[in-house]
């Protein structure tokens, strides 16, 4: 089991990212609900799992990252800032501006820390599979991490990519599914039932790791620790059962907070909830 100092460090990092997201959400519209649901996933990827040099975003031996859930760009940017890719204040200054590197969707034309521009759902995983195929052909030990939303798992391109990954034995491909059961339109199970997500991926012959609570850092770290080596021949999916708007009572499981801005009163209440939850778990530093 990972030492508790590491779990505490990651929990604190996730808390700080949530606070950054709330501050940005006062300034402009972001996809706050989905950012909050996958915040812990992003933290464990960027601050525990990924092999990456912030000083050299084109380093050939780096792990790659593809945000298939393209609208979670804000949480990705703050997660990258946390490891030194850029200053957090730059995100506030540049977000959704004509000159900025940061916006509603990640863009590699302006941001060198973005491997692939994404936004159209269902496209990220096929691209990640292509990158993984190229790395495998080079006998690289680099992995490709991608975060997929459960809403986009209603897209046929996701399952074509899933079949191709098995055919090409892409053990270097790691998919995290943010299974929060909500999309912009409401419940995923109402407009396109996905049922048992883990069983669905097993049916496509993937190595499946199911995280019962995808907002629990201990469980996420244990999932990362159990990943096969990059030279394995079976792709892995980590199905994370999360809560949309996690950590903020008036946002949780509420599709109205798929995207939006937050007013001053709600901001103060949300910040207090985030901080209280951390301190109740870990106490004062």
pLDDT in tens, 210-240: 999 999 999 999 999 999 999 999 999 999 9
Q: For residue 99, what pLDDT is reported?
A: 81
Stretches where the chain sits below pLDDT 50 are: none
Residue 1 confidence (pLDDT)? 61
- Cα gap 131→137, rounded to integer Å: 10
pLDDT in tens, 155-170: 899 999 999 999 999 9
Residue among 201, 187, 200 nearest 151 (CA): 187
Number of domains in the chain: 1
pLDDT reported for residue 115: 94
Q: Is 54 helix (H, G, I), strand (E, B) or coil?
A: coil
CATH assignment at residue 71 = 3.40.50.970
Supply the pLDDT for residue 154. 87
CA 175 from chain centre, in angstroms, equals 10
Domain coverage including residue 121: 4-282
How many Cβ atoms are within 10 Å of 23's Cβ, its own excluded? 16
What pLDDT is recorded for position 86? 95
Dist. CA 281–CA 155, nearest whole Å: 38
pLDDT of residue 187: 75
Distance of alpha carbon 162 from alpha carbon 175, whole angstroms: 10
For residue 119, the model assigns a pLDDT of: 81
| Cβ contacts of 142 within 8 Å, gap of 6 or more | 51, 61, 62, 63, 64, 135, 172, 230
């Amino acid at each position: 089991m990972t030492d508790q100092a590491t779990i505490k460090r990651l929990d604190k990092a996730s808390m700080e990212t949530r606070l950054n997201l709330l501050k940005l959400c006062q300034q402009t519209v972001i996809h706050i609900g989905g950012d909050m649901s996958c915040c812990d996933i992003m933290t464990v990827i960027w601050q525990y799992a990924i092999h990456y040099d912030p000083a050299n975003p084109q380093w050939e031996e780096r792990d790659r990252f593809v945000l298939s859930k393209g609208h979670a760009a804000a949480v990705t940017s703050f997660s990258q800032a946390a490891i030194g890719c850029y200053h957090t204040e730059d995100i506030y200054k540049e977000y959704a501006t004509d000159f900025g590197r940061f916006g509603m969707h990640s863009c590699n034309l302006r941001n060198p820390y973005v491997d692939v521009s994404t936004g159209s759902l269902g496209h990220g995983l096929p691209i990640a599979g292509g990158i993984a195929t190229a790395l495998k052909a080079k006998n690289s030990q680099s992995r490709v991490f991608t975060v997929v939303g459960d809403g986009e798992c209603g897209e046929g391109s996701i399952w074509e990519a899933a079949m191709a990954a098995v055919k090409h034995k892409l053990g270097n491909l790691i998919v995290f599914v943010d299974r929060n059961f909500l999309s912009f339109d409401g419940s995923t199970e109402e407009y396109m039932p996905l049922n048992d997500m883990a069983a669905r991926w097993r049916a496509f012959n993937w190595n499946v790791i199911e995280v019962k609570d995808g907002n629990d850092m201990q469980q996420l770290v244990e999932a990362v620790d159990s990943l096969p080596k990059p030279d394995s021949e079976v792709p892995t999916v980590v199905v994370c059962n999360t809560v949309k708007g996690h950590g903020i009572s008036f946002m949780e499981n509420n599709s109205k907070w798929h995207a939006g801005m937050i007013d001053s009163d709600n901001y103060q209440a949300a910040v207090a909830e985030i901080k209280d939850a951390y301190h109740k778990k870990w106490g004062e530093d």
